Amino acid sequence: MLVAGDVVTDVVALHRAPLARGTDTEAVIRILPGGAGANAACWAARWGLTDVRVLAQVGAGDAAWHEGQLLAAGVRPLLVADRDAPTATVIALVDATAERTFLTDNGAALRLAPADWSPSLLEGIGHLHVSGYLLFSDAGRGLVRLALETARSRGVTTSVDPASTGFIAALGVDRTLAAIDGVDVLLPNADEARLLTGLPDAADAAAKLSRIVPLTVVTLGARGALVAQSGAVTARVPGIRAQAVDSTGAGDAFTGAFLAAWLAGGDAARAAADGCRAGAEAVTALGGRPWKASDAQPLAVAPEADAGAGPGA
């Protein structure tokens, strides 16, 4: 699988108390590798997909660090080093309920451009996944258009994670839907699905989107996920209980595990169940990437909760 998307430096700040404006708020702060596209790739590798690659643009100054982090997670980095812009940086403010709020500096991430695309990137690839963040710059949309056209011409299946309600609203629903026209799988969260359809009910939104994209899987945070195919909801997958610490990247975990299971031949409902398991695992530690037990932080700051694809996934 090739993921065209974003690699980000995450600054995760876990604070138990509400933010105190104008003064200090005590927090646990970590600098971690992130990015929706890169996170999904790492979770797909953790879920058993043996050949996962990431195409993204990063600042030249820390390209080697990000390459090393991806390699350690079993992902092959195809990173474009940008000497004029820093790696995208996200400050994730995580409260005591594990909900996160992002401050985003897109940096080099949205500078990935059509010139960085080559049909040879799909050699040996059976699936192309696009992180929706690329849709929110002219250059990124140009690359996505070329990548999807190449994939369709080669019979390579495709998927898109719409990424952000804020960016969808800024770009516009019609332009967002036009940019993903012809993809095989859409993986929005409930808020994104509602925004893209104008429907208040997530199940109705999922069904409507599946008339546009044949397989649409909508994550519901702690309540699990909905699978919709060709205009109807075909499965409701429950969430999984987990000790939630940080919901950052839970939706990316769902995406990576879902795609790994689906590409291995699983049906969509079973793949969504795998996605929920990955989302539940993701919320138990800081950051959006898979972690080992030895890396876990003793940060039990939220009560046990259902965490199917993570709070706010």
pLDDT, tens digit (0-9, with 9 covering 90-100), for 42-54: 999 999 999 999 9
With H, G, I as helix, E, B as strand and everything else as coil, classify residue 130. strand
Each residue's pLDDT tens digit, 163-196: 889 889 999 999 999 999 999 999 999 999 999 9
CA distance 6 to 23: 33
Q: What is the pLDDT averaged over residues 123-131?
A: 97
Question: C-alpha 20: how far from its chain's center?
Answer: 30
CA quadruple 304, 307, 311, 313: dihedral, nearest 10:
160
Grouping H, G, I as helix, E, B as strand and the rest as coil, residue 161 is strand
Pairing, β 127-131 against β 225-229: unpaired
Distances (CA, A) of 275 to 138, 202, 243, 254, 259: 31, 18, 17, 4, 8
Residues 6+ apart with CB under 8 A from 91: 11, 13, 102, 103, 104
pLDDT at 164: 85
Among the residue ranges 89-93, 96-100, 204-208, the one predicted with the least confidence is 96-100
